[in-house]
Amino acid sequence: MKKRFYILYIMYAVVGILSLTTAACSSDKEEGEKPSLKSKTMEVAFSISVPGSESASDATRIPDPGTDTGEHDDWNRLTVIIAYTQLDMKRTVYYDTFTKDEFYSNNVVQHQHTNSRLLPDSDNDGYHEFMMSLPIGKCRIYGVTYTDGKGFDPVGELNKIKDDGKDHNGDIIKLQISNDYAKDDGAKVAKFISVATGYAINTKDNSEDLQVSLNNIEEMRQYWRMQLNRLAAKVDIQWDAQSAYEKNTETGNVQYTDVKINSFSFCGGATDQNVGAGSGYLFPTLAKEKNLPAISGKKDFINTSEISRRNGRVYHYTFPDGHAPKITFKLETTTTASTGNADKKTSTYTFDLKNVTEGSLLPATWYKINVKVTGKEKQESVSIDTFK
């Protein structure tokens, strides 16, 4: 917490701990059971940064050659989620949503319906202080940026969670976002890579469980941070079949008279083959820790022109799901037999990305895959180099 707000913060904390009212989850959701001595609240505070925030340590694009053009900044909603692991109340999940204009405002933004406020970045370090009146207990905090109305509604999903007094952090980790997100938008890629997620940690010891208590005020103020990072991974596939026309060093003849990559497929691990492009998890590293199932689908790339069948390049963005996809290339080769007749052959080659990604795609990572088809004797080979 910045010094200029410290006195204000202490005042809110003292008022909060004496309060017998419960914090609201949202204007769309009822405020829960009547207050009791067990449902005391206090003002909680931690810092939030998003990709591209001025001078923030995470102000980088998906590792790609060139200069940052700000394409990651195409979002209009930031939702903060608080999910309790220990709380003697029926409601255990709280949230608040801010617009992009509110996030970058030079003034304090206050939401009466959630008893929360967002402070401006007065130190110009990319971090904004978030304050909210919350019940005393132990919780975890998550965040996501997105564009409203583009096929992703986290607020709607949060409203489905029952007020049953249970720990619903598992439901938060299971939250998904479709790989068809913003698919009909003219700025699809910009919106796609502007989705950023993260969860709060204590920077002193990397713990994720925040104990909401009056005794914890100083630690929250100094150490708790939530840094949101871009969610999408970029798979960059470049292929070259031209070298297949090289002459045989012994005979001087061109054995492969025609080599084509007619198509290739980016295949996620979803067991349901009807999911289309499939989805990713909002928090894929946590999903992997929980061993959640693969939900990413399939994307086919058809090379329609002759030149694209010889060589080309395609970028594919996907939301990770804690698993690694496979890429299958469909090859068509024509060789010249000793009789002089043409011999055509169709085959496939599958490359499993788990061999180079430690089992899963990582968020905000660029995977550069070079595919080279070469003709050797009467067989074709594919060599793939990957870079992260």
- How far apart are the C-alpha atoms of 172 and 95, rounded to whole Å? 12
The larger pLDDT score, comparing residue 212 to residue 378, is at: 212
Asked which of 71-75, 155-159, 245-249, 311-315 is least confident by mean pLDDT, the reply is 245-249
Which amino acid type is present at position 100?
A: K
Could you please report the per-residue DSSP string of 17-73?
HH--PPPPS-TTS---SPP-GGG-EEEEEEEEE-TT-TT-TT---SS-SS---SGGG
Residue 28 pLDDT exceeds 60: no
Q: Which pLDDT score is estimated for 26?
A: 43
Residue 381 pLDDT exceeds 50: no
- How far apart are the C-alpha atoms of 53 and 125, rounded to whole Å? 8
Asked which of 174-178, 281-285, 340-344 is least confident by mean pLDDT, the reply is 340-344
110 touches 12 (CB < 8 A): no
- How far apart are the C-alpha atoms of 318 and 174, rounded to whole Å? 17
**Tens digits of per-residue pLDDT, 293-307?**
999 998 888 877 777
Asked which of 87-101, 162-176, 250-264, 313-327 is least confident by mean pLDDT, the reply is 250-264
- How far apart are the C-alpha atoms of 207 and 220, rounded to whole Å? 12
Tokens of 44: 């909680």
Section 234-240 average pLDDT: 83
**Tens digits of per-residue pLDDT, 114-157?**
999 999 998 888 999 999 999 999 999 999 999 999 999 999 99
199 touches 227 (CB < 8 A): no
327 touches 267 (CB < 8 A): yes
Residue 371 pLDDT exceeds 80: no
Nearest to 201 by CA among 117, 285, 122, 134: 285
Share of the chain above pLDDT 90, in %: 45
Could you please report the per-residue DSSP string of 105-147?
-SS-EEEGGGTEEE---TTSSS-EEEEEEEESEEEEEEEEEE-
Nearest to 78 by CA among 41, 106, 116: 116
Integer CA distances (angstroms), 269 to 27, 289, 325, 365, 388, in order: 38, 17, 6, 19, 21
Helix (H, G, I), strand (E, B) or coil at 92: coil
pTM (2 decimals)?
Answer: 0.81
For 366, list phi and psi in degrees, rounded to 5: -105, 120
For 84, list phi and psi in degrees, rounded to 5: -85, 140
Section 150-167 average pLDDT: 96
Residue 25 pLDDT exceeds 70: no
364 touches 230 (CB < 8 A): yes
Share of the chain above pLDDT 70, in %: 72
> Rounded mean pLDDT of the chain?
79
Section 33-37 average pLDDT: 36
Query: 368, exposed or middle or buried, with CB in 10 Å at 0-12, 13-18, 19+?
Result: middle
- How far apart are the C-alpha atoms of 32 and 101, rounded to whole Å? 30
Burial 127-141 (b: 16+ CB within 10 A, else e): bbbbbbbbbbbebbb
Q: Indicate the pLDDT class of residue 330, thresholds 50, 70 and 90.
A: confident
Q: Indicate the pLDDT class of residue 242, thresholds 50, 70 and 90.
A: low
For 230, list phi and psi in degrees, rounded to 5: -60, 140
Section 98-118 average pLDDT: 95
- How far apart are the C-alpha atoms of 9 and 14, rounded to whole Å? 9
Residue 24 pLDDT exceeds 50: no
- How far apart are the C-alpha atoms of 143 and 227, rounded to whole Å? 9
**Tens digits of per-residue pLDDT, 268-288?**
888 876 788 999 999 999 999
